[in-house]
Amino acid sequence: MDRRDAAWYVDRVAQGLIFAGGISAIVFIVGIFVFVTKEGLGFVFGPLQPGEFLTSIAWRPTSNNPTYGALALIVGTASVTGFAMLFSVPLSLGAALFIAEFARGKTREILKVLVEMLAAIPSVVWGFVGMSIMNPLIIRIFDVPVGLTVLNAGLILGLMAAPIMTTIAEDALKAVPDSYREAAEALGATRWEVVVKVVIPASRNGLLAAVLLGVGRGFGETMAVLMASGHAINLPTSPFDSVRALTATIAAELGDAPVGSDHYGSLFTLGILLFVVTFVVNLTADLVVRGVGKK
């Protein structure tokens, strides 16, 4: 009996397409990794002086006597992301708690839609907000000479990272079986006690993953940070200092760096650094969600 009718072929083709779709994610990520390392490794094993790269703040790739000290860029990215998280984590987790545990009916639906819309705002628009709204506002409120600072970029980045953190944290809270809440309520817990003593501990991994993904989002963001941070090479000592981020440096300089030059290679080295950091952060988030290391 020959079973190779039309349906059999359709099934085969569909299988093939779906397989190709599934495998493509792996192909792309490996491809990007190979490309970035290929362009960067020549520099890493050639002119790069690791001591200078990690400890000097002198990033002068176009000078006659170029130096490639990335410390200020690393600290810039870290300070902006750190500041963003400082303000965004409580905001996002609070929003997720309210949406998942307290809001009902229409309120909840409207809030969910609004949070998702927040995620759809292009980053250049955020950067625009940072430059033309936050900048004068910060100058006026804090009476400082410049408003394009860690504070400005951190706030903008915090708002940008908030939707993804809120959505993932909300999913984590939703995943807590309702029978836990019911059990605790039947034992006489108030709604707040249910949230604090049962729901949050039960969703701890998911909440942590939400935060880590927010951190990853912060590290990788380019345009808004470029526009709002001041883009000045500087080790910040207060939130009112301008800084320059790793991502912003690549975006701003790559177009002017001749392909194959040391400058070009050094920018790809920054790319490798970013790639490794975000990869580790995301992998950690993923492992945390799966509960690796859970007691």
Partner 1 sequence: MDSGARGDHAIETRGLNLWYGDFQALYDVDLTVKRGIITSMIGPSGCGKTTMLRTCNRIIERLGYVRTTGSVYVLGHDIFGDDVELVQVRKQIGMVFQRPNPLPISIRDNVLFGFKLHEARLRRVSAAEEDEVLESSLRQVLLWDTVKDRLDKPATGLSLEEQQKLCIARLLPVKPAVLLMDEPCSALDPAGTEAVEELIWKLRGDYTILIVTHNMAQARRASDECVFMLLGRIIEHGRTEELFLAPEHSETSDYIEGRYG
Interface with partner 1 (CB under 8 A): 104, 179-190, 193, 197-198, 201-202, 295
Nearest to 243 by CA among 129, 65, 60, 81: 81
Bridge partners for 161 per DSSP: none
Report the distance separating Cα 248 and Cα 70, nearest Å.
Answer: 13
Report the distance separating Cα 278 and Cα 217, nearest Å.
Answer: 8
Report the distance separating Cα 103 and Cα 147, nearest Å.
Answer: 36
Which residue, 202 or 287, has its beta carbon nearer to partner 1? Answer: 202
Which residue, 12 or 197, has its beta carbon nearer to partner 1? Answer: 197
Report the distance separating Cα 139 and Cα 239, nearest Å.
Answer: 13
3-state DSSP percent of the chain in helix, strand and coil, to 5: 75, 0, 25
Which residue, 255 or 293, has its beta carbon nearer to partner 1? Answer: 293
> Shortest gap between Cβ of 94 and partner 1 (angstroms)?
23
Query: CA end-to-end span of the chain, whole Å?
Result: 55
Which residue, 3 or 106, has its beta carbon nearer to partner 1? Answer: 106
Residue 194 CB neighbour total at 10 angstroms? 20
> Shortest gap between Cβ of 177 and partner 1 (angstroms)?
8
Residue 206's contacts (CB-CB under 8 Å, 6 or more residues apart) are: 168, 169, 171, 172, 173, 175, 289
Any idea which residue has 């492992």 for tokens?
A: 287
Which residue, 157 or 209, has its beta carbon nearer to partner 1? Answer: 209
Q: Exposure of 262 by Cβ count < 10 A (0-12 exposed, 13-18 middle, 19+ buried)?
A: middle
Which residue, 152 or 205, has its beta carbon nearer to partner 1? Answer: 205
Report the distance separating Cα 274 and Cα 268, nearest Å.
Answer: 10
Q: Exposure of 238 by Cβ count < 10 A (0-12 exposed, 13-18 middle, 19+ buried)?
A: exposed
Residue 195's contacts (CB-CB under 8 Å, 6 or more residues apart) are: 97, 101
Which residue, 202 or 272, has its beta carbon nearer to partner 1? Answer: 202
The crossing angle, in degrees rounded to 10, of helices 204-220 and 71-97 is 140
> Shortest gap between Cβ of 38 and partner 1 (angstroms)?
47
> Shortest gap between Cβ of 291 and partner 1 (angstroms)?
11
Which residue, 63 or 179, has its beta carbon nearer to partner 1? Answer: 179
